Amino acid sequence: MTRWPMICAWTMGISILCMSCLGDGDHPEAIADAADLMQGLTVCLSSADCLQDEACTQGGHCVNTTGERSATAALQADFNSLPDAVGLGVPYDLPPNARLLIDDIDGDGVGLRIQKKILLNGNGAALMIDNDIVGLRVEGPSQWSSLRDLSFVSTNFSQVHDGVGLDVRSHGLRLDNLFFNRMGTGIRAFSNLDGVHANNNIQQWSRIVFNRCHQYAVHLRGGDVNAGLFTGLEVIAGNGIRDNSFLGNTYVAPVFNSTSEDSLTIANNAASSTVLGVYAETNAPWMRSASFHDLHVGGNAIDRLESPGDRIGRHAASIRFRHESGFRVRIPGAAHAPMAFNDPIENEWWFFRYFPHPSWRLWAFSHRNQGHHTVYRFTGSDHEEGPGKYHLGEPMNSPDSSDDSNDSNGGGPPPHARARQNRDQEATTFPPNEPEEYFQEPLEPDHDIGPAQEEIYFWEGMDID
């Protein structure tokens, strides 16, 4: 058996430990050593110094490119040896089109860690992630780092993967053109994990495909996972995106096909997320958002949305306006009302709706959206009690005299989101009504606005017999 000569080298100004390598095809695998990951590695100046199925990494280590032997120690040694970044990160290129096996060599549940600013170019490589571990964690002072042109793939498609492809634990990470295949969770970003806090705000991710990630394609959670911009995310089978961030994020043109429990679920009722142009196949679940601050605009899934938030598009609009005086308008006001407004003095809601009474088929306003009170019509004559004063009239005794709905919730807008269809599984219960505490206390009316103009219209009570 021929022994290779002992190789010593200085790479990037950092000493590389020496070792003996065996020839005749008996190449040693990377050896895990918690104290020194450099131990057991083969150093190189080019790929000619490595075996046929290996490549020389940018940091000067031979690494297997077929996924048959661990690449974890060699890559971790490279990451640890990166110099301090001058700008957004130190450029680092993975071997082109390589399969790189990532395993847990030190038993902490994490394969690779990046703790410095890096511009990681995958060059089409795939990280083959051992089942049930975190493949790559970006953490610490690596804010504004970027990863691109890289895949995260399970090592064994016949087994259920319960690990995480990419674990985000750093501020402002830039991701572009990534692929996650058969992970437990594709990307996880928690601001608190195992008692350790991380600032994960201002993420920017684009052009990412998630295939059969059975737990979540993306899972966001915590008070510091806000103000992210996510564009062009595609989710195929598995489960979709669950966003439990505190203040919300922005999603542009995500696509969902054949997901299980979630397509896009924004589950924090304090969030102010903006969602633009969602496309969802009919085999994907309805979108859901718990906050009335959320805004959903356009896309073919806009009419398959459960949310008290605002929405625009496909004849499913729900928009709110409010004036500094405390006056509020909501379109639509409720399931049966295209508009509603709130009197800032009486703090009561009025709903413009259609009344299919046999004698009076008309559009009119109803007080508190109840069918057992007088409706109100538009008049052009002066109201005897002055502008803005509404007289409720006497309740009507006939239960079927105004309409056939049962909408009433004590003055606030009733639920307007469409009910779930074909959903048997349990799901988060979202608040159906608009909380009154969202709005500021109305200001005192301004009595110095001048005299009322002629031709001002008022609402006059009209009894229906």
Where the chain has pLDDT below 70, the residues are: 1-39, 357-362, 367-465
CA distance 458 to 364: 12
DSSP letter (8 states) at residue 48:
G
Task: Check residue 54 and give its pLDDT.
Answer: 98
Longest CA–CA span in the chain (Å) reads 110
User: How many other C-beta atoms can be found within 10 angstroms of the C-beta atom of residue 425?
Assistant: 8
Query: What domains appear along the chain, each with residue ranges and CATH number?
Result: 87-318 (2.160.20), 319-465 (no CATH)
List, for residues 44-96, the tens digit of each pLDDT value.
999 999 999 999 999 999 999 999 999 999 999 999 999 999 999 999 999 99
Q: Mapped to the 3 state alphabet, what secondary structure does the chain carry? A: CCECCCCCEEECCEEECCCCCECCCCCCCCCCCCCCCCCCCCECCCHHHCCCCEEECCCCEEEECEEEEECHHHHHHHHHCCCCCCCCCEEEECCCCCEEEECCCCCCCEEEEECCCEEEECCCCEEEECCCCEEEEEECCCCCCEEEEEEEEECCCCCCCCCEEEEEECCCCEEEEEEEECCCEEEEEECEECCEECCCCCCEEEEEEEECCCCEEEEEEECCCCCCEEEEEEEECCCCEEEEECCCCEEECCEEECCCCCCEEECCCCCCCEEEEEEECCCCCCEEECCCCCEEEEECCCCCEECCCEEECCCCCEEEEECCCCCEEEECCECCECEEEEECCCCEEEEEEEEECCCCEEEEEEECCCCCCCEEEEECCCCCCCCCCCCCCCCCCCCCCCCCCCCCCCCCCCCCCCCCCCCCCCCCCCCCCCCHHHCCCCCCCCCCCCCCCCCCCEEEEECCC
Task: Check residue 377 and give its pLDDT.
Answer: 52
DSSP letter (8 states) at residue 151:
E
Do 458 and 383 form a contact (C-beta atoms < 8 A)? yes
Is 446 strand, coil or helix? coil
CA distance 186 to 152: 8
SS3 content of the chain, % helix, strand, coil (to 5): 5, 40, 60
Which residue from 298, 296, 247 is spatially nearest to 268, judged by alpha carbons? 247
CA distance 184 to 130: 11
Which residue from 90, 49, 95 is spatially nearest to 75, judged by alpha carbons? 95
DSSP letter (8 states) at residue 232:
E
Which residue from 217, 207, 220, 156 is spatially nearest to 184, judged by alpha carbons? 217
Task: Check residue 351 and give its pLDDT.
Answer: 80
